[in-house]
Structure 1
């Protein structure tokens, strides 16, 4: 494979993107920093079509990344390969308002080909290629220039290995017939809605015990205020206010700004500074959370009995057995929330009860809930047996 030096010249970048525009796929990775900012700082982009590879320097003076962005978000003929690509896709979305498509994520694909749910890149390379990666450059400050040859080689290695792994994975997916299993997961990863930083929805990330509509309304207002502050200042939201402090204020709002000096996690200056005033305005304008916005799980938990919880545990056991038999990650078949929903009586809009997931696991999960399946021990091993229908055989 031809490895290029670090690309900083716009013509070189345009030329390689032109060549890649007719490739079957490109493997993509990014290096970025976001410890001290709200928006990630893109420091390096690595790309390979399996025949040549390069790292592009987005921090180079006067650099034009448009040919690369056009390749990634507008060229539908080239498959884009990532590993655990959520943050890489987020960066591209921040720059363009679009996401790469079509897309293939090797971490997701690995779930259909083995039991690991979130396999790390180093372990993926070792298990698929038998290569042990040099970890010495993992903690590089990618924003510093110049980058040395070892750092650039390390970064480009991410996409050269990724290109090889993709080819091997594709062959295995075709062999096992499991390619269709991950199509929906890939489409979710490429959905632009997943990368919109909507302050009005940021409250959903904060752990909060109360189900009081007024307290939840304050939580929503405060979380939106904090998100806007963080975006405007380009500062991590936790630097504005920690989740625990935000939840405490939502649950026990101060009567006036002077009381902010008594809130744990805030400095005394909040009692008379501008940011404290904006916080108090957010509280004053907060409205009770509407019924439509109430967290879904509140109602389900309210009607969840001990017997329901036991059935969920049985389903988790069934899931563990079935995923082990299939040699897939259990999370690919179903998530805990799916199991709780079907035990609570829900049947609509649940991925577990649709398509291949229903055929492989969902039907048996419903049979267990409705008494048509039981656990038995045979030859010292736990088995599932269908009790009453024509499919009364061990699985």
Structure 2
């Protein structure tokens, strides 16, 4: 494989992307910094196919990333391969408003192949290639220039190794017939809505016990205010106000700006400065949350009761047994909230009652809930036993 030098100009990048556009797949990775910012600071992009690989410096003066971004989001003929690519996809979305398509995530694929729920990249490389990855450069400052040779070598290794691993994984998936299992997961991962930072729904991320419309209305207004402050200042949300402080302000709103000095987690200076004034304006301008906006008790987690909770525990036990039997990550088969919903009587809209999940697990899960399946111990091992034939 040919390894290019660090790409720092648009013409060289465009030529590379023109060649990569003829590939069946490309592997992609990024290096970024986000500890001190709201938006991840893109510091390096690595791409490869089976013949060549390169690192691209997005911080190079005058470099236009358009050829690469068009390859990622406009070219449907080239599969884009990532490992645990959620944050990489977020970066592409922030730059384009789109996500790479079509895409393949090797961490998700490893779940279908029984290699754990969140296998790390280093373990994946060791498993498939027998190579121990040098992690020494992993936590370096990627924003500092110039990058040294060790950093670039480490970064390019991420995509060159992946370009060798992906065909091996693909072959295993074909032999096992499990490739179709991944379609829904890849669609979910690539959904642009996952990466849209909408200030009007920011309140949904904040945990609060109250269900009073006026409290939730204040929380919505405060979360929107915080999101806009964080975006405008390019600071992490928690640097503006922490979640617990936001919830406290919504539940116990100060009557005037001077009262902000009494709020734990806020600077005393907010009693007189502009940001404190904007916080108070958000509180004062809030309205009780409408009935249409009010969250349900939890549609995905209906009230179980004591018996329902026991049924959910049995379903989780069944999930462990089935995942072990077919050698697949339990999380790919079912999530806890789906099992709890099934135990509570929900049937419509559950992924475990549709498609391959129903065939592999949902049918037995439903039989267990409806009294057609039980557990027994044979030879010291836990087994599933049918108590009656399932109804048609």
Q: What TM-score, normalized by structure 2, do the two folds share?
A: 0.97
Change (3 A) 1:210 1:389: same
Q: Which residue of 2 aligns with 1:145?
A: 145
CA distance in 2, matches of 1:173, 1:280: 56
SS of 2:292's equivalent in the other structure is: helix
Change (3 A) 1:43 1:99: same
SS of 1:15's equivalent in the other structure is: helix
**Aligned partners of 1:115 and 1:323 also within 8 Å:** no
Asked if 1:356 corresponds to 2:352, the answer is no
SS of 1:128's equivalent in the other structure is: helix
For residues 101-116 of structure 1, the aligned pairs below 5 Å read: 101-116=101-116
CA distance in 2, matches of 1:118, 1:290: 39
Ranges in structure 1 where 5+ consecutive residues have no aligned partner: none
State the Cα distance separating 1:304 from its structure 2 match.
Answer: 2.4
Q: Which residue of 2 aligns with 1:124?
A: 124
CA distance in 2, matches of 1:95, 1:277: 32
CA distance in 1, matches of 2:144, 2:130: 32
CA distance in 1, matches of 2:51, 2:355: 37
CA distance in 1, matches of 2:112, 2:168: 14
Q: Which moved more, 1:304-313 or 1:204-213?
A: 204-213
**Aligned partners of 1:115 and 1:324 also within 8 Å:** no
CA distance in 1, matches of 2:122, 2:138: 11
Q: Which residue of 2 aligns with 1:382?
A: 382
CA distance in 1, matches of 2:323, 2:107: 17
| 1:290-345 deviation line (CA, Å, top 9, x unaligned) | 33333344467673211111111111100011111111111101101111111122
**Aligned partners of 2:9 and 2:63 also within 8 Å:** yes
CA distance in 2, matches of 1:124, 1:148: 26
Q: Which residue of 1 aligns with 2:221?
A: 221
Q: Which residue of 2 aligns with 1:135?
A: 135
**Aligned partners of 1:27 and 1:82 also within 8 Å:** yes
| 1:250-303 deviation line (CA, Å, top 9, x unaligned) | 111112211111000001111111111111111122222233333344467673
State the Cα distance separating 1:390 from its structure 2 match.
Answer: 6.4
For residues 197-276 of structure 1, the aligned pairs below 5 Å read: 197-276=197-276
| 1:193-219 deviation line (CA, Å, top 9, x unaligned) | 111110111111112222222222211
Q: Which residue of 2 aligns with 1:316?
A: 316
Change (3 A) 1:109 1:301: closer
Q: Which residue of 1 aligns with 2:279?
A: 279
Asked if 1:185 corresponds to 2:177, the answer is no
**Aligned partners of 2:213 and 2:290 also within 8 Å:** yes
State the Cα distance separating 1:9 from its structure 2 match.
Answer: 2.2
Structure 1 residue ranges, 4+ long, deviating more than 4 angstroms after superposition: 299-302
SS of 1:5's equivalent in the other structure is: coil
Change (3 A) 1:300 1:64: closer
**Aligned partners of 1:211 and 1:298 also within 8 Å:** no
| 1:153-209 deviation line (CA, Å, top 9, x unaligned) | 000000001111111100000000000001111111111111111011111111222
Ranges in structure 2 where 5+ consecutive residues have no aligned partner: none
Q: Which moved more, 1:201-210 or 1:50-59?
A: 201-210
**Aligned partners of 1:73 and 1:100 also within 8 Å:** yes
Q: Which residue of 2 aligns with 1:72?
A: 72
Asked if 1:166 corresponds to 2:158, the answer is no
| 1:334-386 deviation line (CA, Å, top 9, x unaligned) | 10111111112211221111100011111111111111111100111001111
CA distance in 2, matches of 1:323, 1:183: 19
Q: Which residue of 1 aligns with 2:50?
A: 50
CA distance in 1, matches of 2:319, 2:294: 29
Q: What TM-score, normalized by structure 1, do the two folds share?
A: 0.96
Change (3 A) 1:294 1:118: farther
Q: Which residue of 1 aligns with 2:295?
A: 295
Q: Which residue of 2 aligns with 1:28?
A: 28
CA distance in 2, matches of 1:378, 1:110: 31
State the Cα distance separating 1:104 from its structure 2 match.
Answer: 0.1
For residues 332-371 of structure 1, the aligned pairs below 5 Å read: 332-371=332-371
